[in-house]
Structure formats: C-alpha cells, structure tokens
Amino acid sequence: MEKIIGLIDAPFTPFTADGDVNCEPIPAYAAMLAENGMKGVFINGSSGEGYMLTEEERILLAEKWITSVPAGFKVIVHVGSTCVRQSRTLAAHAQKIGAWGIGAMAPPFPKIGRIEELVKYCEEIASAAPDLPFYFYHIPAFNGAYLPMVDVLKAVDGRIPNFAGIKYTYESLYEYNQCRLYGGGRFDMLHGQDETILPSLAMGGAQGGIGGTTNYNGRELNGIIEAWKAGDIETAREKQNFSQDVINVICHYRGNIVAGKRIMKLIGLDLGPNRTPFRNMTDEEEAAMKRELEEIGFFERCNRF
C-alpha cells in the first residue's frame, strides 16, 4: 500500500449560525489547505465533530469534499461510529464516491478494553470498503481505548488485508516508534500530535501525519519537516517551539475543536459555531485569544488564503 508522505489536515465541519451543515465554504477551504502545503484531508473526525453529525450529514460532507479538492489531494473519510453497521454504510459509501481511504477511532461507548474487541471492530468496518486503505485512529483520551498498539498491529497483520496503519494521537513516542519499526516498517504510522513532529522525525518516522492545528498553522508545521530534511535543526526547533506556543494559546480556550475553529474566522474563513455539547467561545474570549496570538506573532506566520 502507498504510504502517506507529508501532512494531512483534519478539517473543521462548517456550520451555519443555526447549526446546520454548511458546505458552501468547502471549495475555498480545500484550496487554502492545498496552497499551504497540505496533501489531503481526514474528514468527519474529532476536529470535524463527526460524532455529532447524522449519517446523512456525514455522507453529504464526504461527497462535497470529494468534488472540491484539487487533483492528487487525498480525501480520507472517518467512518467510526457507536453503530458498526452505520460505519459499514459510511465506509462503503466512501469507496463508492472515490475517497482515497477510510479510518475509524474506537467508539466512546461501549468502551473497548481488549485487543480482540478492537480488531473485530476494525475488521467489520474495513471489509465494507475492501479497495480502500483503512487506518485505525488511536486517540485514547477520547474513548478510553488504552490498548498496546504494537499488539494491535500483530493481531491485524494478515487478518485485515486493507489495514494500512494507524493515525497515532497519543503521547508515547516510544510506542509510536515501536509501531513504526514493526515488521520492518510494514504499516503506515501517521503522526497525530502536532506538538511533537520534530522528535518523531529524529527517530526516523513521521513521514506522514494528520493534524488539527494544520488548519491554521500548516505552513509552520510543514516548515519543521522541510528544515529537518535540509539539516537545519535550529530552524526546525524554532518552528516546533512556535507551534507549541500556538497550542498553548488554544488550550486556554477549550482546545483545537473550539478555539481552533474560531481561529479560522480570525484568518478569514468563518466556519460557524460548534455543536452541543461543545461550549462556543464568547466574543470576549475571541478578543482575548486574538491578543495572545498577536503576542507570539501568529498572524505573520499562519496559513494564507
């Protein structure tokens, strides 16, 4: 299977002021991401509030992204759900409309606590789109699936033919690297934490990644990879530290899904509010966040339209 090289963005889902899905901004959104160096999108995931979308909305968004991206731009569709039958429907639809790949995180309910439970979940979903690479999205802080990922790779190896790899969004760089090394690098280990791209590069991995802050800080995150490849370690360090400064700011305002989405408005693409149960930022919080971003020089370095 083809391994992803470069950064894939996890886009926000645009909503109207009254909370309906708004597909109108997606073509401009896709063009902006491509212009700023992204290689594709991973839609309807955590940044996209996927679990708060109806099946019909998820299908609508997948179709709109597929028809909006430039040539060669990868569209990976998150199809995870608390209902595996719904996930299979979404996976089959993604294959039908020409998505590049699919992915699924473990469901938040019921919590998965055993390797075989997770493997069976992935197997049933992946088999509904056998022609597409399937990625497991490891984000245990969201669903409590704190399972050893090397053991997951061992269990799926030879069992799920289209299992491509893992989007690894967890703090253990040791485990990430052990997964990368498994089977001589058989699986595609997509780095999923924008705050630790550089140390993952230093271990020899992180050829591909999926990020959330790439929505507005993609130029700097790509810059880390470019500086590393050029042997300019000091520039790579500066850009990684700056990217952590950006993350520190959004953590003051309920993280990427809430604060990051509001940053998109500040840089020129209003994607609307978040859905319940997320608590939207107030105008006062937006102004305070803008000041914090100005203090670190963010608007001189952020993504451009």
How many DSSP H helices and E strands does the chain contain?
A: 13, 8
Q: How many CB atoms lie within 10 A of CB 204?
A: 11
Quickly tell me which residue has 């690297």 as its tokens: 177
From residue 134, alpha-carbon distances to 47, 95, 156, 237 in Å are: 19, 11, 11, 32
CB 298 within 8 A of CB 262: no
- Whether 74 is a known active-site residue: answer no
Give the dihedral of Cα atoms 290, 46, 174, 123; nearest 10 deg. -170
SS3 133: coil
Q: In the structure encoding, which two tokens stand for residue 79, read together?
A: 């199809």
Q: Which residues of 261-296 are buried (b: 16+ CB within 10 A; e: fewer)?
A: bbbbebbebebbbbbeeeeebeeebbeebbebbeee
The residue annotated as part of the active site, out of 51, 121, 137, 176, is 137
The residue annotated as part of the active site, out of 39, 167, 239, 261, is 167
- Whether 111 is a known active-site residue: answer no
Helix residue ranges per DSSP H, the chain? 26-35, 55-68, 84-96, 115-126, 140-143, 149-156, 173-181, 197-202, 214-229, 233-251, 255, 261-266, 283-295
CA distance 52 to 102: 18
CA distance 221 to 89: 34
Q: Mind telling me the catalytic residues?
A: 137, 167
